[in-house]
Amino acid sequence: MTGTGQPNVLLHQAFRQFQYPTVPLAIYPKEVINGHRAFIARRRGLRPSEEYRLPTDEEWEEFLGHFERRRVALGTCGRAYATSCIHEHSCLRCSLLRVDPQQRHRIAEIRDNLLARIDEAQREGWLGEVEGLKVSLAAAQQKLGQLDERTRRAATTHLGMPTAPDSP
């Protein structure tokens, strides 16, 4: 905005030139950016220098191995490096599991099996079992819903943002 309360036309045209969908709401002064960079440099100066050494071959192989071990039967586990699985490998219930679309049939089989096991547990009066199975069933249905949403989004055709002609 200019001092007269009118939008800055040149600023809007500059942002349109770079095809921003909207004008950014904040433009940070150089002092803020430089201050943040100085803060980061001070924090790095406080850290022990051994944190900035090159990893050994063994450390590097262990790091790469973590990403290989993230691959599970239903997809990929998104847990962070050097963290254990807090769900004890009950991946279906885990929000960090990114299901492979080609494994949709397996999730559907698991869901159908859970429904049958719930029926059996209810017949036998195993109420604790029913409760746990229902949690797993809800997770399976959620994963199927996520897969369906991803498939739907992938099939969507984006036509882009229409632009108005520049006014004279």
The answer to whether residue 16 scores a pLDDT higher than 70 is no
The mean of the pLDDT values for the chain is 81
Which of 1-5, 82-86, 103-107, 159-163 shows the lowest per-residue confidence on average (mean pLDDT)? Answer: 1-5
Tell me what pLDDT residue 9 has.
Answer: 65
Quote the percentage of the chain above a pLDDT of 90.
Answer: 29
Any residues with CB less than 8 A from the CB of 55 and at least 6 apart, and which? 63
Output the CA torsion 69→73→78→83 (10° steps): -40
Tell me what pLDDT residue 2 has.
Answer: 46
Express the helix, strand and coil content of the chain in percent, nearest 5 each.
Answer: 60, 5, 35
The stretch 35-45 carries a mean pLDDT of 88
The stretch 150-159 carries a mean pLDDT of 79
Overall pTM > 0.85: no
DSSP class of residue 74 equals T
The stretch 93-100 carries a mean pLDDT of 86
CA-nearest of 107, 113, 101 to 142 is: 107
Of 86 and 80, the one with more pLDDT:
80
Tell me what pLDDT residue 81 has.
Answer: 77
**Range among 27-41, 69-83, 154-168 with highest mean pLDDT value:** 27-41
The answer to whether residue 141 scores a pLDDT higher than 90 is yes
Q: Give the confidence band of 114 by pLDDT, cuts at 50, 70, 90.
A: very high
Q: Give the confidence band of 154 by pLDDT, cuts at 50, 70, 90.
A: confident
Q: Are 95 and 78 in contact (CB under 8 A)?
A: no
Quote the percentage of the chain above a pLDDT of 70.
Answer: 81
